[in-house]
Amino acid sequence: MYPEIQPYQHGFLNTEDGHQIYWELCGNPHGKPAVFLHGGPGSGCAAAHRRLFNPERYKVLLFDQRGCGRSTPHASLENNTTWHLVADIERLRSKVLQTEKSLVFGGSWGSTLALAYAQTHPQHVSELILRGIFALRQAELHWFYQEGASWLFPDLWEQYLAPIPPAERGDLIAAYRKRLTSSDRSVQVEAAHAWTQWENQTISLLPSAAHKQAHADDASALAFARIENHYFVNKGFMGEGQLLRDAHILQYIPGIIIQGRYDACTPARTAWDLHKAWPQAEFHLVPDAGHAFDEPGILARLLAATDRFSQ
């Protein structure tokens, strides 16, 4: 990746409905505008994300979505929907990035949000780079949180099941919702760590100590699990299959889709479906990768994509 850099400007966007959104600008103030959308929802941005862009060529906006990272109030579910986030991106584009068009980069949940934003405001998107495609369809949620990925990771699945009594395991997302919104903080924390570790330990093709340590503290795990579960209970606040149905809106936006063949978190079927619905975009199926952005094959494709569009 590109060398580590620090933001040259940062601040908070007051949404005027109870949230303060942390944002930062990195790279060249006169460079090509780009917006980075992190995953989760609920994970927040990391310093490594800045390193996906040539700092001499890009002016990159990164921000922590509602309720996570450095944004406040912490782990809040109030006024926190896909469409609130789409509106936040639009305000940040206009007020902070100060551009008519920008490249939009999103992986995992970030790909979901990037698609939602681009389909709502296509006139403000110059290019799209999407990784680990997640369309938030019911079948995708069922695969990872109810039955499917459990067949690949039976040992880790037992840890995910542990906080939930057998009688409530028919709908694990709902059972986790009950605990993540409990009035007992210890119940919340136990559920948050179990939910978070299930994802952290299954996102890469090979085990990763660094991924396992992500969101290891209680506060980070709570934001990640509470917000992610909140979005999944509500089906992303979208209609079933909406992002694929409306993919035709993207036909004039240059795009690159990057997907790991062995992605157990957001299986390749969704990326393939997007490829068929948006054939104008380049499609790269990485043969030796899972879901994580920093797996070598995926990382190489992401850097090649940002380099190409920087021209």
Active site (catalytic) residues: 108, 263, 291
- 3-state secondary structure labels for all residues of 158-177: HHHHCCCCHHHCCCHHHHHH
Question: Order of strands, edge to edge, in the sheet holding 20-27?
Answer: 9-14, 20-27, 58-63, 32-37, 102-107, 125-131, 255-260, 282-286
Query: Are the beta carbons of 200 and 19 closer than 8 angstroms?
Result: no
The backbone torsions φ and ψ at residue 237, rounded to the nearest 5 degrees and listed phi first, read 60, 30
* 33/172 Cα distance (integer angstroms): 40
Name the pairing type of β-strands 20-27 and 32-37: unpaired
Element (H, E) at 126: strand 125-131
* 220/279 Cα distance (integer angstroms): 38
Place of tokens 């790991």: 260
Query: Are the beta carbons of 310 and 54 closer than 8 angstroms?
Result: yes
- Other CB atoms within a 10 A radius of the CB of residue 17 amount to 11
Query: Are the beta carbons of 163 and 190 closer than 8 angstroms?
Result: yes
The backbone torsions φ and ψ at residue 63, rounded to the nearest 5 degrees and listed phi first, read -150, 150
- Other CB atoms within a 10 A radius of the CB of residue 196 amount to 23
Query: Are the beta carbons of 245 and 136 closer than 8 angstroms?
Result: no
